[in-house]
């Protein structure tokens, strides 16, 4: 009863239901003084003054400018005006009107995945790989709640996304109607912003705001919840309504101040052991970052989200840092006297014990989100700005001052090169068993490091981060902050939609893959060239690794095979793939891996390769949770007792 009363109160007070992290976001409805017409054939429309002569509709827009159309058609045209060409939508009762309107769109294609979680992860893969907001649409109730993990994932990884949900008619809100959930309330803390549309005339403005919010500042997901009666109402849309975001607009970062940039350049010139610590916030500033490194010669290490923002193959790249980062990247952080942290948030999987992280270094932190500055680690110099603009300013100052010709970090680089040679990434081979790292290395060689890679979550994710070469931004797609299993396959599908002609490979584990295996249907029906490389160890490998290291190898529900016949590979992923009419093969010996991967890559359309790997393998190096560089583990596996 309490929830019903709260929902009823919200319906009476729309602003209470409209999420607004900044007070000035609350907005009254457009043209509130204009009366509504009486119901005609079960619908209503606004009484708008129309021009005496109507312009003929363009091929893109199916209506005359003054012609009333359903709210669902207004929504679809608003998406078209935002440049949307692809959406990931699964229909249901409360979103049927939207799907009907989509069938009337000449420019938007819907990609039907088989679960709403698949839709939202596909939208994420599309957005991560293109830089454009991904759009997913779901019905009310369970359809909307199935988006929750994907929205949380997008918020943590700063992925631009617009999620649209159907809702029960306004008169039913708060009555516990069939498939009613207060999705705005459910997602309040896992979206950048969200809306409950209570007036059909607000749709053009709200959609415009949603896309602006999703892509500006620190990107993130925005949810728009639209009751079914709003979708059915008739309206003459006003497309030039201004954004009503004064509080947000006033807080967007400006161009970085010259004195702060001067201070950073001075710190660079005074340092002897500087390191660049680069994250996902640099995904749109790859060129500027490379130029900065060219001018300074400062070594670069990246977070999991930052892979590809600086070329992994470059001699100044230390690859990934953190819990499963390279020894030499973590060594560099530990010994640095200057840490240039660009587009990062000092995540716990990077820092470990905060007090010990970069304890010898002065810290410069540049990030677009003011909430991240000083949240986990206090910087000596901070700039709240777009990293792209900050790097552009720093590069100009370096050239202008001539400092770039005076600095020399060659002895520091030699020290790090010695660490690279002393502690390279490595693994062991046991007979004809397939080391999972080897399979990824072969994939890297055969694709020449050019594929877009998606992953699930677990050991395979870390090996894919370590052993594949990422040389450009938006090449690496993985659920980093949330760590959502089941991400890999639908994200690969979304990336394939957004990047036609580009090789997309989902490197997955058998546990993660099974969580959204139904999306094999979508990639087959659309004949997307998504290649699935499953590293199948019949276990939840990362949990097994922690059991080995910290729980005396006591197995607590981490075996995914068939206990009645442990010699059998279960389930049979090859047979399942063939049930979806997808070519598939299994490889069990190291000598056969190269040819098997070659066949996978050369086969047109989707393909699944089931690579059987030993479950005793551990992801190394490893800094235990809450540990420091001195605690790093560099050897051992599940074949050893601890």
Instruction: Point out the residues that are catalytic.
Output: 116, 178-179, 228, 542
Q: How far apart are CA 88 and CA 138, in angstroms?
A: 9
**DSSP secondary structure code for residue 539 in this structure:** B
- Torsion angle of C-alpha atoms 500, 509, 118, 184, degrees rounded to 10: -120
Nearest to residue 153, comparing CAs of 213, 216, 221?
221
CA atoms within 13 A on the CB side of 118: 21
In the numeric block, which tokens belong to residue 342?
């660009």
What number of H helices and E strands is found in the chain? 25, 20
Residues pairing with 274 in the sheet: 338
116-130 and 488-498 helices, crossing angle to 10°: 50
Q: Can you say whether residue 342 is alpha, beta or left, with left for phi > 0 and alpha for psi between -120 and 50 degrees?
A: beta
Nearest to residue 585, comparing CAs of 599, 568, 605, 569?
599
Q: Locate tokens 């080995």: which residue?
A: 548
Residues pairing with 166 in the sheet: 226
Q: How far apart are CA 222 and CA 631, in angstroms?
A: 40
**DSSP secondary structure code for residue 382 in this structure:** E
SS (H, E, C) 519-534: HHHHHHHCCCCEEEEE
**Parallel, antiparallel, or unpaired for β 452-455 and 476-477?**
parallel
Nearest to residue 490, comparing CAs of 465, 508, 516, 511?
516
In the numeric block, which tokens belong to residue 415?
């020290």
Q: How far apart are CA 237 and CA 586, in angstroms?
A: 55
Helix, strand, coil share of the chain (percent; to 5)? 40, 15, 45
SS (H, E, C) 435-470: CHHHHHHHHHHHHCCCCEEEECCCHHHHHHHHHCCC
């Amino acid at each position: 009863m309490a929830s019903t009363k709260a929902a009823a109160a919200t319906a009476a007070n729309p602003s209470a239901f409209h999420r607004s992290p900044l007070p000035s976001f609350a907005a009254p409805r457009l043209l509130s003084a204009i009366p509504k017409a009486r119901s005609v054939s079960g619908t209503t429309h606004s009484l708008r003054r129309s021009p005496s002569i109507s312009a003929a509709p363009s091929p893109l827009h199916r209506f005359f400018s003054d012609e009333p159309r359903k709210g669902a058609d207004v929504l679809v045209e608003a998406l078209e005006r935002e440049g949307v060409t692809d959406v990931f939508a699964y229909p249901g009762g409360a979103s049927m009107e939207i799907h009907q309107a989509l069938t009337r769109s000449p420019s938007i294609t819907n990609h039907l995945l088989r679960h709403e979680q698949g839709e939202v992860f596909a939208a994420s893969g599309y957005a991560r790989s293109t830089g454009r907001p991904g759009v997913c649409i779901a019905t009310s109730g369970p359809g909307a709640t199935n988006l929750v993990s994907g929205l949380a994932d997008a918020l943590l990884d700063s992925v631009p996304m617009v999620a649209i949900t159907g809702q029960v008619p306004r008169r039913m809100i708060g009555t516990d109607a069939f498939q009613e959930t207060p999705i705005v309330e459910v997602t309040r803390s896992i979206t950048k912003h969200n809306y409950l549309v209570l007036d059909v005339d607000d749709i053009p403005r709200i959609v415009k705001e949603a896309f602006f919010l999703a892509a500006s500042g620190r990107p993130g997901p925005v949810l728009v919840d639209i009751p079914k009666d709003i979708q059915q109402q008739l309206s003459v849309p006003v497309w030039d309504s201004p954004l009503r975001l004064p509080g947000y607009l006033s807080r967007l970062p400006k161009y970085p101040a010259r004195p702060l940039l001067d201070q950073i350049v001075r710190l660079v010139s005074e340092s002897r052991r500087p390191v660049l610590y680069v994250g996902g916030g640099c995904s749109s500033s790859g060129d500027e970052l490379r130029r900065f490194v060219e001018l300074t010669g400062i070594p670069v290490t990246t977070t999991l989200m930052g892979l590809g923002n600086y070329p992994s193959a470059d001699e100044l790249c230390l690859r990934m840092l953190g819990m499963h980062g390279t020894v030499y990247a973590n060594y560099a952080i530990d010994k640095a006297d200057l840490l240039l942290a660009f587009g990062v948030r000092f995540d716990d999987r990077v820092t470990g014990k905060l007090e010990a992280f970069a304890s010898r270094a002065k810290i410069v932190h540049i990030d677009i989100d003011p909430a991240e500055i000083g949240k986990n680690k206090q910087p000596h110099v901070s700039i709240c700005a777009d990293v792209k603009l900050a790097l552009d300013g720093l590069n100009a100052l370096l050239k202008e001052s001539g400092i770039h010709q005076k600095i020399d970090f060659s002895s520091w680089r030699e020290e790090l090169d010695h660490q690279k040679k002393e502690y390279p990434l490595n693994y062991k081979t046991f007979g004809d068993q397939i080391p999972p790292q080897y399979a990824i290395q072969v994939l890297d060689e055969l694709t020449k490091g050019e594929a877009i890679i998606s992953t699930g979550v677990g050991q395979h994710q870390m090996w894919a981060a370590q052993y594949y070469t990422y040389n450009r931004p938006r090449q690496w797609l993985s659920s980093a902050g949330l760590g959502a299993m089941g991400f890999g396959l639908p994200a690969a599908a979304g990336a394939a939609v957004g990047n036609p002609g580009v090789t997309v490979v989902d490197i997955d584990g058998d546990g993660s893959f099974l969580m959204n295996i139904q999306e094999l249907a979508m990639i087959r029906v659309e004949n997307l060239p998504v290649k699935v490389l499953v590293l199948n160890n019949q276990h939840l490998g990362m949990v097994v690794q922690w059991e080995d290291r910290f729980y005396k190898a006591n197995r607590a529900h981490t075996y995914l095979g068939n206990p009645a016949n442990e010699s059998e590979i279960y389930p049979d992923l090859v047979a399942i793939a063939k049930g979806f009419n997808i070519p598939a093969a299994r490889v069990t010996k190291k000598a056969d891996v190269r040819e098997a991967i070659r066949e996978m890559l050369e086969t047109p359309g989707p393909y699944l390769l089931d690579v059987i790997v030993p479950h005793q393998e551990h992801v190394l190096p490893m800094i235990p949770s809450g540990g420091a560089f001195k605690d790093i583990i560099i050897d051992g596996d599940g074949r050893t007792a601890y």
